[in-house]
Structures are given as C-alpha cells and as structure tokens.
Structure 1
Amino acid sequence: MSQTAVADAPVDGAPLPLPTLKQPRLPRWAPLGLAVVAAALGIGIGLVAGLDSRIQWGLIAAVLYLGLTAGIAGRVEGVRQAKDRLATSVIWVCFLLAVVPLASLLWETIVRGIKVLDGYFLTHSMSGVITMEPGGGIYHALIGTLEQVGLATLIAAPIGLLTAIYLVEYGTGRLAKAITFFVDVMTGIPSIVAGLFILSFWIIILDFGYSGFAGAMALSILMMPIVVRSTEEMLKLVPNELREASLALGVPKWKTILRVVLPTAVGGITTGIMLAVARIAGESAPILLLVFGSAEINNNPFEGAQSSLPYFIYEQWALGNEPSYDRAWAAALVLIAFVMILNLVARGIARWKAPKH
C-alpha cells in the first residue's frame, strides 16, 4: 500500500468527512435587519445634513440598503449570490417607490374625503345649495356617471367585440391590417381629442345640445380600442383544437364562434370590458366639453346638461373655498371606490370563469 493510500485510510474505522457543496448563507432575517439599519442611517444622515424632506431620507436609506446588501452578501455568500440578492433588493426598492405614492394618495383622499361622506351626501344634489357653505351632495353627479358610463359601454362593447372577432376569426387581408392600425392609433388618442371630435360633429355640425349622451359617445371612443385589444388577446388564447373539432363535426363557423369560442373566452372578455369601464369612469376632459355640468338632478341623458363625478370634482375644486374642497375630496373618494369595485368585480369574474384543472 502506498503512502498516499495510508494517509487517506480511515483512522480507527471512522469515515473521512465528505467534501460539502453548501456555501455560507445570510440568515433569513438579514434583509429585514439591513433594511432597519439602512432606514436608521438614512434618517440620521438626513437630520445631520439638515434635510427636511422625508422623501430624501427614504432615497438615502434605499441607496444605503442596496450598498449594504451587496457588500455583506458579497463577503459572506460570494459574488454570484451577492448579485442575486442585489437584483432582488432593487426590485423590492422599485416596488416600494411605486407603492408609497399610491398609498399616500389613497390615505390623503380617505382622510380628507371622509369628512362629509355620509348618506346625505350620497342622496342629495347641489340644487339650491350655496357653494360657500357646507351641504349638498353628489347624487346628481353619481347618476350622471352611471348613465354616461353605461351608455358608453352599450356602444363600445358590441362594436369592440365584433371587431375583435373579425380580426381573429376572419381578418387576413388589407382590411384587417388597416383596422389593426387604426385600433393602435385610437389607443393613444388623448381624451380631449375625442371630446373635440364629438363636440364638432354632434353639437356644432348636427346642432344637438349638451347632454350625457354626447359625453357617452366620447367615452365610447376611448373605450373601444381597449375592448378590441383585450377581446382579441382572449380569443387568441382559445385552443385551435376546439375550433377544429367543432368544424369537423359539420358545425358552421359562425355557430362555432358563438357556441364554442365565445363561451370559452367569456371570462377574459368580461374582465377586459370591466377594466375598460374602470378606465373611462374617471375621464374629465370629454365631460367638461360635452356634458356642460348641472347642479340639479337630470335623469335623462339624452336631453339637457348633466353632471358627473369627474366634472363635480373639477367644479367644486375650482370654487376655491373650504366647503367645496371637502365636497371635492369626498367625490374623489367615491370615484376611487367605484373604480376599485369595478376592478374587484373584474378579478372575481376572471377567477369564476377561469378554466378548472
């Protein structure tokens, strides 16, 4: 036996320790601990430097957190793991930078809007109310928003749905390419341009008056490309095997679309329509041009001026006194709640209609 073999032989029958591939790792609480240390250092540096803005403190803390994470992870875990932790930390920092303004906006709206938000505010209009005094409500604006958004949905949803069906199921030539191009162009149209188009065509040329229906037509222009794009993507997700199986059984193509394709994609289509509704619910520019505003309740969207929540917010804020500011914040809170409910309904429909495995 050679000297090397003797050296490698176990002593007293004990096996030699196997080489391990396990690398040292930071404990699980390390990211949180580093975040606390970075926050403390950021606050300290901000106070010493005389920085009054807490946003500046937060940015300093974020930079320190990234530096501490990269440095400590590099020493303990190695360069490769340090890069991974640094990338993860950058993602978390960007996420917080995006969430903080949103949370701040939501908190500010709730704190300021809850002052006058009650049952009276939701069930009364501004008719006969002196704007410089407390009182009044948003019932007329709420009715206007529901009617205008509802009419816009009735106009845009069928047109968008049929357009998407044509593009996915039938469109292969120049017409389909032209429609796709114009849908892409319409996606980027500013809302004020849609309002100006309806103003010039419906009110100036055809000589119809200001009404909720005029605003609904402008909103439908903004809504249509969103419906087309979302429906188109949902229809493309339907497996071609389902279409082929239906056609192989002798079912006409139109009936295949109606009985097979649409029921399969109905969850995604409905979700897209709901998200499009949420998108147009807060539009103010077309409403300012076409609805013209009213302090009284107008349940007829086809005749006479009508209000809406975005218009009401603009109108009250422009008055420039404390009671009107409170009403504007309360209306903004109602509008945010309305949009949030629509998004939750869309998510609920998506889960309900999702394919079950």
Structure 2
Amino acid sequence: MSHATVKDTRTDAPAPRRKNTLSRRGLPRWAQPAFAIVSVALGCGIGMAAGWESRVQWGLISALLFVAISYTTTSAVENRRQARDRLATSVVWVCFVLAVVPLLSLIWVTVSRGMKALDGYFLTHSMAGVPGFEPGGGVYHALIGTLEQVGLATLISVPIGLLTAVYLVEYGKGNLARAVTFFVDVMTGIPSIVAGLFILSIMLLAGWSPSGFMGSLALTILMIPVVVRSTEEMLKLVPNELREASLALGVPKWRTITKVVIPTAVGGISTGVMLAVARIAGETAPIMLLVFGSQLINTNPFEGAQSSLPFYIWEQYRVGSEASYDRAWAAALVLIAFVMILNLVARGIARWKAPKTGR
C-alpha cells in the first residue's frame, strides 16, 4: 500500500521544467534591412567626412559596416551560432550587391547615353559620306556585317560542335577521346586575337583578300569549343534508360541518337548555341585583322571589307568627337539588345523543350 502511494506521489509530482532553447530572443525580420540602411548612412557619412569623392569607397565602407553590424548585433541579441550564420548570409548578400551594381551601372550608362543617337534613321543608314566628327550617319552597315558574320560562323560551328559532342558522349573511348576533350578545353581559353592571327596567316599564304567570311572563320574557332562543351553536358543528362529501351527494341544506335537522344536534349543544346552566338557577337580583334571595316553597306560577306557592331564602336570612339561618342554608345546599346534577345530566345527554347513533369 505504501509502495503504491509512493508511486502515485512520484507520478503526480510536476516534472522539472527544461530550458527551452528555441524560445530565446531573436531579431525581427526587418533587422537586416535596418542594418543595411544604417550601414549605408554611416558609410556615406564617413566618406563625406573623410573627403572621399569616389562612391566606390563609400560602398565598400558600407559593405564592411553591414557585415560588422550584423554579426555584432546578432551575437549580442541571439547567440554565437546564429551570429556566424548571419555573418555568412551577410557576406553572400554583399557579394551579390557587388556583382549586380556594376552591371546595373553599365546598363544605365549605356541606355542613357545611347538613346541620344538611337532612332530609326540611325538603324537604317550607314556612314557613307558622313565625316566621323560630324553628326549623322548610322549603324546599318555594321549591323548587316554582324548578322552575316555571326550567321556564317553559326552555320559552320554548330554541325561540327554537335557531331564532336555526340562522338565524345556516345562513341568516344580511349586516347583519341581524351585528346579531343583536352584540345576542346584548350580551345575554350584561346584569346580571340590568336584565332584572328591564325586565319590571317592562312589568308596571306592563300592570297585571299579581307572579307566577312574570313572573320567568320575566326569566330568559328572561338565558337566550336563552347558548342562542344555545352552539347556534351546536355547529352550526358539524357537518362541511359532511354538509350537502352530504344536499343532493346532493335533500333540502330545512330537512329537512337538522332530520334531519342538529341530530341531529348535539344532544349539545352539550343541554349548552348545561343550563348555561344552571344559570346562571339562582341569580338573585335578578329574583325580588325580580317575584315578591315568599311563605311559602306556590303551585303556580300565573301568579297570586300565589311564592318561589324564591335568594330563600329571602336571606330567611332577613336574619332573622339561628341557626335562619334554618341554613335558609339548607341551602337553599344544595339549590341547589348542583340545579345539580350539571343539570351531570351535561348531561355524560351529551353523552357519550351524542357521535359514535362507531373504526368
């Protein structure tokens, strides 16, 4: 009886309360924006007090203060573990801002200065008969040259890069595949001036004259490794089960590649091709060596000198007048818009051809 009483007494006694580690003090959600505002205010104040004219210095001081204030306040209010987590988060945000701010600044300056000369007349006329230091003229001849040169480079490099990637993924084994992979990696880092000099040496030995096609050959050298590497990675993402199922039905391997593997990866392949086109669209050195530039409209890329948007920008900036600067910024805006359109097209194709889920 006494044993039962003791047992009931122990059962009815309240259990000792444990310290809830999850109910500690925490910073509100608006703490990080508040830290950022205080850091920017302090950074600007320190910069003005020190007499620094560079806004970059103000921004760096603000970034350091943001990281320091976030860590110190979190350590005092919460705990050291949360402070270290907040420190890592703050560093990530600072790096993100440091990467985005120059990009936004570049776009803002290009748009604000490029809109001064960008209009319908600028896009539909060339520089024929217009002195470089006077207003007027347009970018039509350079736009035609860029479209033809990049188009020819794409027509040459895409089949070569696609077939090379198919060989490396589907057939490549042994020393030959390793050698091809090695040279593709090396070609990825080749400077554009080296590709231009290589085609220039061939052009001089063969006795050919400068033309848009010569520039396209140099751009092809720069584009092929990008296409090969991007296509190779996309083909590797295709599940092997699809290949095995096709082969189990008696379908030849070449037909499996053309009807199963490539259609499955066509979205990523298209994206890689578009990005490679955007990469070569801004090259200037091969055009300077092989195309020579021209003030006239030349729609034949196989004969005579041509211009391009990067060459036109360099040419106008070299003149040094206010009108030429406006034309250079307007051409830079056209080039950025061209690359942006290619990236949007690549994203659209990738989303359109992406495998459907949820079925």
Which range, TM-score by smaller chain? over 0.9
1:102 Cα offset (Å) = 1.0
Q: Which amino acid aligns with 1:154?
A: L
User: Which residue matches 2:161?
Assistant: 160
Instruction: Name the CA distance, whole Å, in 2 between partners of 1:200 and 1:45.
Output: 57
Find out whether 1:65 has 2:66 as its counterpart.
Answer: yes
Deviation per residue, 1:154-186 (Å, 9 max, x gap): 000000000000000000021111111110110
Residue correspondence of structure 1 range 18-167 to structure 2 within 5 A: 19-22=19-22, 23-167=24-168
Give 1:356 deviation, angstroms.
1.2
Q: Which amino acid aligns with 1:163?
A: T
Displacement of 1:36: 0.6
- Structure 2 residue matching 1:149: 3-state secondary structure: helix
SS at 2:21 equivalent: coil
Alpha-carbon distance in structure 2 between the residues aligned to 1:246 and 1:52: 67
Q: Determine the C-alpha separation between the residues in 2 that align with 1:21 and 1:355.
A: 45
User: Deviating runs (4+, > 2 A) in structure 1?
Assistant: 15-21
- Residues in 1 aligned to 2:79 and 2:353: alpha-carbon distance in whole angstroms: 47
- Cα deviation for residue 16 of structure 1 reads 8.2
Q: 5+ unaligned residues in a row in structure 2: which ranges?
A: none
Give the CA deviation at 1:320. 1.0
CA distance in 2, matches of 1:196, 1:18: 76
Match of 2:174 in 1: 173
Q: Percent identity?
A: 71
Q: Aligned AA for 1:129?
A: V
3-state secondary structure, aligned to 2:298: coil
Tell me, in whole angstroms, the C-alpha distance in 2 between the residues paired with 1:34 and 1:177: 52
Displacement, 1:9? 3.8
Give the TM-score normalised by structure 1: 0.95
User: Would you say 1:356 and 2:346 are equivalent positions?
Assistant: no
Report the counterpart of residue 232 of structure 1 in structure 2. Answer: 232
- For 1:352 and 1:26, how far apart are their aligned partners in 2? 43
Letter in 2 for 1:101: P
Match for residue 283 of structure 1?
A: 283
CA deviation string 1:67-124 (max 9, x = no partner): 1100111111211111111101100001111111111111111111100100000000
Take 1:240 and 1:136, find their aligned partners in 2: how far apart are those partners?
A: 57
- Show the counterpart of 1:305: 305
In angstroms, what is the RMSD of aligned CA positions? 1.6
* Deviation by residue 1:296-349 (Cα, 9 ceiling, x = unmatched): 000000000000000100111111111111100100010011001111111111
Alignment size in residue pairs: 350
Mapped to 1, the partners of 2:96 and 2:71 lie a distance apart of 18
- The alpha carbon displacement at 1:51 in A equals 1.4
- In the aligned structure 2, how far is the partner of 1:314 from the partner of 1:248? 58
Aligned equivalent of 1:207: 207
State the secondary structure of the residue aligned to 1:26: coil
One-letter code aligned to 2:188: T
AA aligned to 2:314 is: Y
Matched with 2:267 is 267
Once the two structures are TM-superposed, the CA of residue 19 in structure 1 deviates from its matched residue by 4.6
Q: In the TM superposition, what whole-angstrom CA distance separates every residue of 1:173-215 from its partner, at most 9, and x where no partner exists?
A: 21111111110110010000000000110x2011111000000
Q: How does 1:236-255 map to 2 (within 5 A)?
A: 236-255=236-255
Query: Partners in 2 of 1:83 and 1:349 — Cα distance?
Result: 42
Write the distance in 2 (CA, Å) between the matches of 1:214 and 1:52. Answer: 47
Could you tell me how far apart the structure 1 residues matched to 2:195 and 2:206 are? 16
Question: In the aligned structure 1, how far is the partner of 2:185 from the partner of 2:62?
Answer: 42
Partner SS for 1:115: coil
The residue aligned with 2:334 is 334
Which one-letter code corresponds to 1:67 in the other structure? Answer: A
Whichever residue aligns with residue 173 of structure 1, its letter is G
Q: CA deviation at 1:21?
A: 3.4
Equivalent position amino acid for 1:70 in 2: Y
Give 3-state SS (helix, strand or coil) of 1:307's partner.
Answer: coil
